[in-house]
Structure 1
Amino acid sequence: MATTSVGSIDFPQRKATGLRFQDRRRLFLLALTIPAVVYVVLVALWPLAQGIWYSFFDYNLLRGGGRRTFVGLANYAELLTDSTARRALINTFVFTFAAVALEFAIGLGLALLLWRDGRFNRICLAFLLIPVTITPVVVGLIFRALLAVDYGFFGYYLAEWGISGPRGFLASTTAALPVVILIDVWEWTPLVALILLAGLKSLPGDILEAASADGATALQRFRMIVLPLLLPTVFLALVLRVMDAFRVFDIIFVTTGGGPGDATNSLMVFGVKQGLQFFNIGFASAIGNVAILCIAVLCAVFTLLIRRADVRANER
């Protein structure tokens, strides 16, 4: 080993490792990411690839030996020809647009009301977030109990007064879907309000104060300053809720099970029934793939709309 002399003392020189600090740091970060990548591949990408592969086959577990017959796009075509599948797809779109629109409108109003810092607003925000902490299955069970016509706190009196009918709202072919939408709105509106409130609190206050000093009204400040600056937060809230609402399953499965008839049958409920009740894996895989494709298209549409609105706001 080579030595370096300083005065009369010899110090051994350390051998060069051949790797710079930046290279060692990159290898360390790569080693940290490998478990996450493996997890994503095993839990997300591999099942997704299997679902895409199975969707091209007539594959039913009830058949002996698990035989599979290649059918191409027949499972996807059945989604358009089967009346139950079409109704489930329409119900899913109606549920998504109605629920997200109501949640955004009410959430934006609540965020504006809670914008100013204060003890009362902080207390209201704490109580407002209670529905978000409850799982959708429990929320569905709570509302099913509340709306039950024989013992429900609300359902009994609504049926007695002739408002809901003798079997209740959840058993009505016309009222079941709106009621399920309102249940979803009750649970997830606080989340939208919290996201929008975070965006409102990050807005620069000096711009709003300057606009107020120039004589701009509250509506003008909101339309010309607050809303354009809030567009990235609006995009985040809408995309998160659209992705979650389109794959709704828990609330519908617990409250109505997709009924009465097909009144509340959603795409995910229909897919779960095909896969776990009738063991039609090929058709169920096609349903799941169509749901993923629809979510991607909706998110792309929201991206284009928000980007166009942002461009228009910046051109003013």
Structure 2
Amino acid sequence: MPSLTLTHEQGQRIFLLLMALPGLLYVIAIGVWPLLQGFWYSFWDYNLIRPNRTSFVGLDNYIKVFSDRTARAAVFNTFQFTFATVSLQLIIGFALALLLWRDSRFNRIMLALVLIPVTMTPILVGLVFKALLNADFGVVGYFLRAAGIGPEGGLLSDGSVALWVLIAIDCWHWSPMMALILLAGLKSLPPDVLEAARTDGANAWQRLRLVILPLMLPSVFLAVILRGMDAFRVFDTPFVTTGGGPANATNTMMLLAVKEGLQFFNVGYASAIANIATVYMAIMAAILVLFIRRADVRANVK
């Protein structure tokens, strides 16, 4: 019987596979399996209160997401929150990146200070701002009410402005991260191209519009993808500040899914909401990646 012998390359591949196997099993157990399980539950009328009365409903849970008034409002709020936060954070982050572009000791110190909000968890940020904006004892909310600015119950109690307050909180929290990504893109720009534009007589605005921005497109799209996907699945801050209120004005898709699954135990409907949110994020990421590739092709052709 011939003996099984392995070459050095084959043995190395098997060794690397065995080393990666625990991580792969962890990803399957923690990420892939719950995702597949949620996809399966979304086709069933499955409620933890009555687990023995489960029935197959097909696409009814998905249809309910678009026919239910609360769910439609959550979808609209999620898109509005995502578009507003990413747009504002892109502007603020790019402005901060330009201010911190010059490599100096002062800018390095300022960058470290600017990044402090990013080190805080979203739940902590939400609790801090909820306390600050409280109309009864909050440092900000009390004086706003005393000055007659905003509603009597505080800014978070008004359905017309509560979502925009959450948008402002998210901008304070994550604009430094956007600035860090864009700053890395600025520092990777070829200095000879910028020096050539300066030599040709281009002023600061012309260099920004004609040289810096076109070269920064890959970094901009990367920042938009990362922040867009993170903003679309926002849950922590609305949960601890408003709980989706008042009158569902700050309800988001992830918050609604958690409410349906953990508060009303409607696992099938909650899974459908989460799956739709996942599809939305995948579509947005695919569109942005397509834009990145096109921008990269144009840059290489030129």
Shorter-normalised TM range: over 0.9
User: Which residue, out of 250, 262, 281, partners 2:236?
Assistant: 250
User: Which residue, out of 30, 51, 55, partners 2:42?
Assistant: 55
SS of 1:245 mapped into structure 2: helix
Q: How far apart, in 1, do the equivalents of 2:202 and 2:173 lie?
A: 36
Which residue number in structure 1 is paired with residue 220 of structure 2? Answer: 234
For residues 126-160 of structure 1, the C-alpha deviation after alignment (integer angstroms, 9 at most, x for no partner) is 11000000000000000000000011101001011
SS of 2:139 mapped into structure 1: coil
Considering only aligned residues, what root-mean-square deviation do their CA atoms show, in Å?
A: 1.4
TM-score with structure 1 length normalisation? 0.92
Which residue number in structure 2 is paired with residue 32 of structure 1? Answer: 19
Q: How far apart, in 2, do the equivalents of 1:311 and 1:38 lie?
A: 37
Residues 209-288 of structure 1: pairs in structure 2 closer than 5 A: 209-288=195-274
Moved more, 297-306 or 23-32: 297-306
Larger radius of gyration: 1
User: Which residue, out of 91, 97, 106, partners 2:77?
Assistant: 91
Structure 2 unmatched runs, 5+: none
Report deviation, 1:235.
1.7
Note if contact 1:228-1:310 (Cα within 8 Å) is conserved in structure 2: no
TM-score with structure 2 length normalisation? 0.96
Report deviation, 1:72.
0.3
Which residue number in structure 2 is paired with residue 45 of structure 1? Answer: 32
For residues 267-306 of structure 1, the C-alpha deviation after alignment (integer angstroms, 9 at most, x for no partner) is 0111100000000000000011001000011111212233
Equivalent position amino acid for 1:150 in 2? D
Q: How far apart, in 2, do the equivalents of 1:30 and 1:76 lie?
A: 39
Q: How far apart, in 1, do the equivalents of 2:172 and 2:206 lie?
A: 30
Q: How far apart, in 2, do the equivalents of 1:97 and 1:47 lie?
A: 28
Equivalent position amino acid for 1:80 in 2? F
Q: How far apart, in 2, do the equivalents of 1:84 and 1:287 lie?
A: 12
Equivalent position amino acid for 2:28 in 1? V
Report deviation, 1:219.
2.0
CA distance 1:201–1:67, shift in 2 (3 Å): same
Note if contact 2:218-2:295 (Cα within 8 Å) is conserved in structure 1: no
SS of 1:203 mapped into structure 2: coil
Q: How far apart, in 2, do the equivalents of 1:220 and 1:304 lie?
A: 27
Which residue number in structure 1 is paired with residue 189 of structure 2? Answer: 203
Report deviation, 1:222.
1.9
Report deviation, 1:232.
1.7
